[in-house]
Structures are given as C-alpha cells and as structure tokens.
Amino acid sequence: MAGSGSRVRRYVLLLVLLGGFGVVLFRLATLQVLQAEELSARAGRQHQKTVSLEGPRGTIVDRHGKVLAMNMEVPSVFGIPTTLESPTKTARQLSSVLPVKLDELEKKLRQDRSFVWLARKLDPEQGRRLDRLSVDGIGVVMEGRRFYPKGSLLAHVLGFAGMDGEGLEGVEHRYESYLRGEKRLMVLQRDALGRTVFPKSLAERSPASGHQLALTIDEVVQYIAEKELEAAVSQAQAKSGSVVVLDPQSGAVLAMAVSPAFDPNALSALKKGHLQNTAITDAYEPGSTMKAMIAAAAIEEGVMKPATMVFGEHGRMTVANTVIHDHEKLGWVSFAEVIQKSSNIGAAKTGMALGGQRLSRYLEAFGFGQRTEIDLPGEGVGLVKNQKSWGRRSVASISMGQEIGVTPIQMVSAFAALANEGISMKPYVVSEIRDADGHLLKRVAPQVKRRVISPETARSVTRILEGVVTRGTGTRAAIPGFRVAGKTGTAQQIDPKTHRYSSSRFVTSFVGYVPADKPRLAMIVIIDGPKDKRASGGSLAAPVFSSIGEQVLSYLGVSSEQPITVAMATPNL
C-alpha cells in the first residue's frame, strides 16, 4: 500500500509540473506570438518618442544675393514627466533659465505623458545655461528659427514665420510651399533610467532644406526708400505712409516701404495694426493723381489735345446741383495747363467729354478695380463702382479722383504704363527660385498685361506731366540733371462720424517716373494723415520722391546726360 501511495504522489507531482510547464509555455506563446505586436508597440511607447521636425526654411535674398531671411539652429527644450521624481523641484530649476512661468512649467511636468514641449526655439545662451544645469528627465533638440538679419528692413514684404516654422505673412506666406523644409519624424530614445534622450540613429539624415528665393528688391534702394519715408512721416506727424519703386519696363519691384515699420525678429512685440502691407492692401481716394489717367484717355480718344483750350469757369462750376471748386480762379487755359495746375473743373469737363462708358473702359484698362496680381498675399481690389450705379456727378467726381478707391500698387502700376510707352506690366517681387544646392528651378520673366494707350499718347502725357514738375504743382519733385514726369495728389478723407469729406484728414501723394525720356524708375509716395491741414502732395510727398529718386539714380549709375540700361528684373546670383 505504501509503495502504491508513493507512486500516486509522484504521478500527481509530475502532472502538476507538466501543468505548470504547460501554463508557462502557453503564456510564452501568447506573449511572443499572439500579443507580440501589441507588446512591442507598448515597449516602443515606453522607451521611444517620435517627434516631427522640419528642415530649415529656404533663404530669401535680394537681387544681388544679400541675405534678407535665413534660419538659425537654436535649442528647444522638452521634458519626460513620467520619469520625474519631483516635478515641483524640476520646475523650480528650469524657471531660472526658461522664459516660462513656474506654475506653467509645473503643470506641464505633472502630466502623465512621456513627452512634452517646455519651450521652443530659445536663444543659444539659454540653451547653454540649461546644459550647465544638467536636469534629469529634461532634454534638448535643435530646431530652426527664422532670423531676419536686416531687422525691420523690408518687413512688410518679407512677412515672418511662426513658431512652427510656417510662413504667416508676406513672401514667407505666399511662397510657403517653396520655402518650407522637408518634414521628417525623429525617433528619440531614452535609457533604462530615463536620464537621456537622443536620436535613435545618430547617422539619421537631417530633413532637407527649403528652396531659396531671390527677390527683385534691391536692399540699397529699399533702405533709401524706408529712411526717407520714415523721416517724412515723422516730420509731418502723419499717421502712416508708403513708397513703391518699380522698374516700369519689367514690373519688377525695387522697393516697397511702409511706415510704421516692425521688426519680424521680435514677434511678441508686434502690433496687429502694423503688420498690414498697406502698399497693396488699402484703398484710398487718389485725388488729382487720377487726372493723369483722365488725360491719357482723353488724348487717346481724340477728345483733347495738349493745346486744346478749356475754360476754367473762374474757379467755380455747378454739376448735378453741387459746386466744384478750384484752388485757383482760372479762365481760358490749355488742356496741358489743366493737368499742370491740377484744375478740378478742367478735369471734370474732360471726363464729361469722354462720357461714362469710355471713362469706365479706361479705368479698367489702367487696372483700377482689379488686383495687379502681384505675388504677395492680401492684395486689395480697390473700389470702382459699376457704371450702372454711377450718380449724376460720378463722371465729374471720378475724373477728379473722388468716388473711387485705388491701392498704391495699382496707381504706381498705372503710371508705369505711361512710362513704358502705354504697356502695362505685371508687378512682381520674386525673380528666381533655386533648390538648397543652388540649382535653378524657376526664373520669373517680365509679363505684359496689356497695351493701354498708344506710344504717341504716352509720350504726349509724359510731356504734360513734365510740366507739372517744371512749372506746376509738383516743382518740389524735381531732381537736378534729370527730367521728371509726375502728378501731385491731395485727397480729403471721409470722416467716419459724419460720412462726409473731412476738412482736417488728408492723403497726400506724388506719383511719377524718371528720367522722363527713358524711364528707369516709377515711384509712388503717400503720406497719410499729416497734422498740418494745409499740407499737400506738392509740399509733402513730392520732396520725398525727389530725395529717393536722386539717391537711387546715383546708386544705379544712371547718367543725366546719357541714361544707361540697368538690369533690374533678375538678380545674378
């Protein structure tokens, strides 16, 4: 019996052992076969973190290759909250270095997460101070931060990129698809104690850089324009101002200045109202600068000739039960003098002789009421009412530059067509796109939009506009040694309270081109809201035109005796 009982116990023990081994084998099979994928993923989540990083944005340069926007490698800081012994202690250590509030840091570090950004794209010095702290559970990766080495220069055209490297304004936004770097996922891995985080593969290829953009802008011309504009706005105690300089033969923008300016390197200090590129977005009543377009239409249609005599009604004329006034009581004057003396009555009579249908057609031909299609975001269309909705005085008013809204880029483009023998060119700011290795991907060629007037009419209007500068309202736009053609403008603004023309709010402007016989520069200068109620386009904007024009012509080497051809459309990189 005893032997039989011993055998039973051995069998039972054997069965138990076999059952145990069976359970172990089953568990192993379950872990290694049935649950292998899930467990592997869980292990990966515990020991690895995948972070999306983007390659450097492409560089932006001026027409001579001078860098206007570039990327800098700067430190970004992250934490691994699940490995921290004391989030409070760690937060205190970091708060002395990072530009983040203590309570915000602690809140981030208390999250039940394996990865959290603490601060992005810091200054290099902050990164070095963090390295010296050597805090467990905290790591650093290098990211690209956008840097604008010229500060506020050309800020409204360049725009800026946000914290995530995405272009938010200007060229940075318009050409985002070319400028942005390649997005790649970087796998970060920590050791068993969770003390270090590093790329899983140190040999892993870095994300590719974005493409390089070459602008038509000339850094020197831009600097001159901004300097003179800022001085004029400050001296006039004006609300704002803008300057656009074009090559009339190609449409290439050489400078586009807006005041007040801003520094795209200091995003936290930016004021929303200062970001808008008013040179392309905001419509204003052009006032007397519109008379140049009316003159071109009238001469092209044979309604007027420069020598045609026009009666000035001694400075007062009734139209549609309203009175049109002139600042000078003119009698009989030539049509050329109507423009040179900026007669409202003469312009109104010219417009009425043209008639609404032809006037509307030429407004469209010169590009008013439509975008110029310049390669910048946010361009406005201005305000040109449909001819069917015009009132009884509309033809007269529009001929004087009222009842119509234009943008600065529209107006300077219209004058550029006069300068270019009647041919309208599409304005543009980007001339070339190259890849990160310098290989040319795209070159932008000047683009003809349409012929607006004949070469003969353009030359005739140019001679009239030269008279504006030599003996008319724009004498302060003169440039020694050069023939200048242009037109002054002083327009009353609508008072938002009364919805009538204000007696104290003005937009003053001068638009023209130089040298008048072989134009190389077309330029508009706008000074908006000067403090002095007596200010005019001739007294405020015209001198700015003269000062910028004189400096730029000298810089470009244009001789007053024998003008030379200056390549402005395409930079030679």
Q: Which residues are catalytic?
A: 288
Question: Could you give the residue ranges of the DSSP H alpha helices within 366-443?
Answer: 394-399, 408-419
Which among 133, 46, 54, 40 is positioned nearest to 94, based on CA atoms? 133
Distances in Å between the Cα of 436 and the Cα atoms of 142, 145, 207, 210 are: 20, 17, 12, 6
Distance CA 209, CA 54 (A): 8
Angstrom distance (rounded) from CA 495 to CA 503: 9
If you compute the radius of gyration of the chain from its CA atoms, what whole number of angstroms results? Answer: 34
Query: How far lies 75's CA from each of 20, 27, 151, in Å?
Result: 54, 46, 22
Per the CB < 8 A criterion, the answer to whether 359 and 351 are in contact is: yes
Residue listed under structure tokens 């599409």: 426
Question: What is the distance between the alpha carbons of residues 125 and 340, in angstroms, rounded to a whole number?
Answer: 61
Closest CA to 277 of 260, 264, 294: 260
Cβ pair 174, 377 in contact under 8 A: yes
* Residue pair 259/242 in contact by the 8 Å Cβ criterion: yes
Residue with token string 């449909």: 386
> What are the beta bridge partners of residue 333?
310
Least Cα distance to 570 among 48, 190, 61 occurs for 61
Q: Is the peptide bond before 306 cis (omega within 30 degrees of 0)?
A: no
Q: Which amino acid is at 375?
A: D
